[in-house]
Structure formats: structure tokens, C-alpha cells
């Protein structure tokens, strides 16, 4: 019966941490949503209140005298705007302040934008130049290395091919080429013997099903994994 693979304690711990984190972030998101909802409700309440106040103001504005005064003011404003050149039509706030030269201000902004653009373009050119230099260096390095590749003489016998196995002196697995020994695959019989040996070793260390059950119970009692418990037992046994 194939032994069931034990989950790694380390990975389980990391997974648990990940799950905890997700749970935490979900809780946070829920809390954030609640806060958002509360803010929305508060905003809605505020809007309704301000709308009501606005309606009251509008009612007051409906008075004919005030309306007349307003239309006169608008007409005056329109007249003053047409007298000025187009680039001098500043915003009402600017006009009221009377301190900002709009045209000079816009020219300054344009100048700043131009300087910034030039700076960025220069930086970009420097970066491109740097990248080109790096590429050129790489090309030069590649060109200088071209044609100098040598196959590993130890593993490939110096010419990239496997060589015939030698015999005697325990050197069955090695063959000598022109430039040194080359590794070759073991023969069939040898391979079978190796497998057999491996199986024997494995059998000696196999746990019987009853042992396995017992170990599992013990591990559960101790609150650890079977693998960790086994490691502990082995450590105690061999230390």
C-alpha cells in the first residue's frame, strides 16, 4: 500500500497565515463598507437639509426688486468684458482681486511646461543612450565569446559524445576519452541489482499498518503531524 503523503507542517502554517490574513482583510472590508454606508447616509441627510435651506433662499430671491438689480449687474459685467482684449478676460475672482496678470501667469506656466518637457526629453535621451551602450557592450562580449565554446571534457569525452565503457579496476561506470573520463549509464544487470538493493532497504524501514495507526493516534494526541513525530522519534533514537 502506498504511503499517504503527509502535508508539510511549514506549508500548512504558511497557508494558515494566508487564510487568517484573508479573513482579516474581509473583516476589514466589511467594516470599511459599514463606514462608507454610514457616511453615505450622513451625506444624504446633509443634502436633504441643505436642499431645504436652498429652497428657502430661492423663495426669498424670487422678489422682483432683487431680480431687477441682478439683471442690471449682469448687463454691466457683459459690457465691461467686451471692452477688454480676449486674453485679459480674467475670472471674476481675479478681477475682484485685481492683482494677478493673467497673461503673464499663463506665459510662466507655458515656460515651466516647456522646461519640464525639455528636461524629460533629455533624461529619456540619456536613458536610451545608456541602454544602447549596454546593448553594444553585450554584443561585443557575445562576439568575443563566439566560437570559443568547449564541451565539458569530463562528462562528454571532449567531443560531445558518449564513449565505450572501460572494464576492470572498478571503473565500469567510466570510460576514458581523449580528454579524460566520461560518465556512462550502468548496465542492465547492474541497474536491476541497484533496484533490488533499494527495495530491500525500503522494506526494512516500512511501517506496518497497525504501527502507522498507532503513530497517527499518538501524533493527534500530541497535536502534531505524524511526520514531525516520526522525526522526533528518529532524532531521539539516533542522537
Partner 1 sequence: MEIIAIANQKGGVGKTTTALNIADALRHSGYTVLFIDVDPQANSTSSYKAVIENTYTAQDLFEKKCSADEAIQHTEFGDIIAGDPGLSTIEMDVQKKMGGFHLLKKALGKMKASYDFVIVDTPPNLGIYMLNALIAADKVIVPIKAEKYAIDGLQRLIETISDVKEEENPDLEIAGILLTTYDKRNELDRKLWDTLPEVGEAIGMPVFETPIRISQDVKKAQDQIQSLFDSYPNSNAAYDYARVTKELIEGDK
User: 12-21 b/e with 16+ CB inside 10 Å = b?
Assistant: eeeeeeeeee
Closer Cβ to partner 1, 18 or 161, answer by number? 18
Quick one: cell of 12?
Answer: 500548512
How many residues sit close enough to partner 1 to count as binding (CB under 8 A)? 21
Quick one: cell of 87?
Answer: 486674453
Q: Return the ∠ at Cα 100 (arms to 96 and 103), rounded to 5°.
A: 120
* Rounded CA separation 78/83 (Å): 9
3-state class (DSSP) for residue 209 = helix
3-state class (DSSP) for residue 216 = helix
The DSSP bridge pattern shows strands 180-183 and 174-177 to be antiparallel
Binding flag, residue 21, partner 1 (CB under 8 A):
yes
Q: Pick one of 27, 112, 124, 231: the residue that binds partner 1 (CB under 8 A).
A: 231
Applying CB under 8 A, which part among 35-43, 160-168, 190-198, 227-235 lies near partner 1?
Answer: 227-235
Closer Cβ to partner 1, 46 or 127, answer by number? 127
Applying CB under 8 A, which part among 113-121, 188-196, 211-219, 223-231 lies near partner 1?
Answer: 223-231
Quick one: cell of 188?
Answer: 542492465
Binding flag, residue 239, partner 1 (CB under 8 A):
yes
Contact 89, 104 (CB under 8 A): no
Binding flag, residue 22, partner 1 (CB under 8 A):
yes
Beta carbon of residue 215, minimum distance to partner 1 (angstroms, whole number): 16
Contact 174, 167 (CB under 8 A): no
Beta carbon of residue 201, minimum distance to partner 1 (angstroms, whole number): 19
Quick one: cell of 163?
Answer: 564513449
Q: Pick one of 38, 138, 152, 159: the residue that binds partner 1 (CB under 8 A).
A: 138
Beta carbon of residue 116, minimum distance to partner 1 (angstroms, whole number): 17
Q: Pick one of 14, 53, 100, 110: the residue that binds partner 1 (CB under 8 A).
A: 14
Applying CB under 8 A, which part among 7-15, 72-80, 149-157, 172-180 lies near partner 1?
Answer: 7-15
Contact 177, 159 (CB under 8 A): yes
Binding flag, residue 38, partner 1 (CB under 8 A):
no
Q: Please report, as ranges, the residues that interact with partner 1 according to CB under 8 A.
A: 6, 8-11, 13-15, 17-18, 21-22, 130, 134-135, 137-138, 227-228, 231, 239
Amino acid at each position: 500500500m502506498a504511503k499517504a503523503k503527509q502535508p508539510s507542517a511549514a506549508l500548512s502554517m504558511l497557508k494558515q497565515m494566508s487564510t487568517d490574513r484573508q479573513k482579516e482583510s474581509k473583516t476589514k472590508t466589511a467594516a470599511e463598507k459599514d463606514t462608507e454606508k454610514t457616511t453615505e447616509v450622513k451625506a444624504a441627510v446633509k443634502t436633504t437639509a441643505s436642499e431645504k435651506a436652498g429652497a428657502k433662499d430661492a423663495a426669498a430671491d424670487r422678489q422682483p426688486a432683487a431680480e431687477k438689480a441682478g439683471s442690471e449687474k449682469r448687463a454691466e459685467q457683459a459690457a465691461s468684458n467686451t471692452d477688454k482684449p480676449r486674453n485679459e478676460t480674467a475670472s471674476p475672482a481675479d478681477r475682484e482681486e485685481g492683482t494677478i496678470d493673467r497673461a503673464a501667469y499663463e506665459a510662466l506656466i507655458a515656460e515651466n511646461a516647456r522646461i519640464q518637457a525639455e528636461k524629460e526629453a533629455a533624461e529619456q535621451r540619456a536613458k536610451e543612450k545608456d541602454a544602447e551602450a549596454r546593448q553594444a557592450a553585450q554584443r561585443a562580449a557575445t562576439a568575443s565569446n563566439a566560437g570559443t565554446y568547449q564541451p565539458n571534457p569530463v562528462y562528454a569525452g571532449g567531443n560531445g559524445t558518449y564513449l565505450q565503457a572501460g572494464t576492470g579496476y572498478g571503473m565500469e561506470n567510466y570510460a576514458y576519452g581523449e580528454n579524460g573520463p566520461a560518465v556512462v549509464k550502468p548496465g542492465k544487470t547492474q541497474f536491476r541489482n541497484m533496484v533490488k538493493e533499494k527495495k530491500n532497504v525500503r522494506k526494512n524501514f516500512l511501517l506496518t499498518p497497525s504501527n502507522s495507526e498507532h503513530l497517527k493516534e499518538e501524533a493527534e494526541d500530541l497535536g502534531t503531524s505524524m511526520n514531525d513525530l516520526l522525526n522526533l522519534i528518529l532524532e531521539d533514537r539516533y542522537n
